[in-house]
Amino acid sequence: MRKLLFFTGRDCPSCDVVKKHLFAIMDRDKLDLVVEILEINKGENARRAADFAISSIPAVVVLDDDKPIYTFIGSTIIERLEDEGII
């Protein structure tokens, strides 16, 4: 099963916008993936972000069988997820 890791943080207006759209899509559609929200200001989540070379937020890593297949960074995350048919 695919998993979507959404890296966010405090005081990140772009993160809030992407999160709002992601939640709206999750409420509207039945997604065939697990979504995990990770605030990188917290220790373990910061290490996970580093594991995927995430250096800015908002960011999304899509995993398939725990292997990264897509990484998207910035305010166009939702559009890119839609373009790839992930959501």
Look at 16-20, 23-27, 79-83 and tell me which has the smallest mean pLDDT.
23-27
Q: What is the pLDDT of residue 28?
A: 78
In this predicted structure, the answer to whether residue 29 has a pLDDT above a threshold of 80 is no
Q: Which domain holds residue 20?
A: 2-83
Q: Which residues of 19-40 are buried (b: 16+ CB within 10 A; e: fewer)?
A: beebeeeeeeeeeebebeebbb
Q: Which residues contact 62 (CB under 8 A, 6 or more apart)?
A: 2, 3, 4, 5, 33, 68, 69, 70, 71, 72, 81, 86
Distance CA 67, CA 82 (A): 20
Q: What is the pLDDT of residue 17?
A: 94
Q: Give the predicted TM-score (pTM) of the model.
A: 0.88
What is the tens place of the pLDDT at every residue in 32-85? 788 999 999 877 888 999 999 999 999 999 999 999 999 999 999 999 999 998
Total domains in the chain come to: 1
